[in-house]
Amino acid sequence: MQARNGKMSQSGLGKQTNMNSLLVLFCIIGVAVAQQYQQQYYTPARLVQPVLTANLVQTKAKPVAVLSQNSNFNFDGNFNYDFQSENGISSQVVGSVKPLGPDEQAQVLQGSYSYTAPDGTPVTTNWFADETGFHASGDHLPTPPPVPEAIARSLDFLRSVEASRPQNVQAKY
Q: Please write the tens of the pLDDT for every residue from 41-78.
A: 777 777 787 777 777 777 888 899 999 999 999 888 89
105-116 vs 90-99, strand pairing mode? antiparallel
Measured CA angle at 163 (ends 162, 165), to 5 deg: 70
Q: What is the pLDDT of residues 26-36, one digit of tens each?
A: 888 888 777 77
Which string of b and e fits 82-107 if b means at least 16 CB within 10 Å?
bbbeeeeebbbbbbbeeeeeeeeeee
| DSSP single-letter state for residue 62 | P
Rounded Cα distance between 16 and 25, Å, is: 14
Is the pLDDT at 111 greater than 70, yes or no? yes
pLDDT for 166: 72
Higher pLDDT, 85 or 1: 85
Is the pLDDT at 168 greater than 60, yes or no? yes
**Helix segments in the chain, DSSP class H:** 10-34, 149-164
Domain residue ranges in the chain = 66-138
pLDDT tier at 172, thresholds 50, 70, 90 = low
Q: Percent of the chain beyond pLDDT 90? A: 39
Model-level pTM greater than 0.85?
Answer: no
105-116 vs 79-85, strand pairing mode? unpaired
pLDDT tier at 22, thresholds 50, 70, 90 = confident
Mapped onto helix, strand or coil, the DSSP state of residue 70 is strand
pLDDT for 53: 77
pLDDT tier at 169, thresholds 50, 70, 90 = low
pLDDT for 12: 57
Q: What's the mean per-residue pLDDT of the chain?
A: 84
| Cβ neighbours, 10 Å, residue 138 | 13
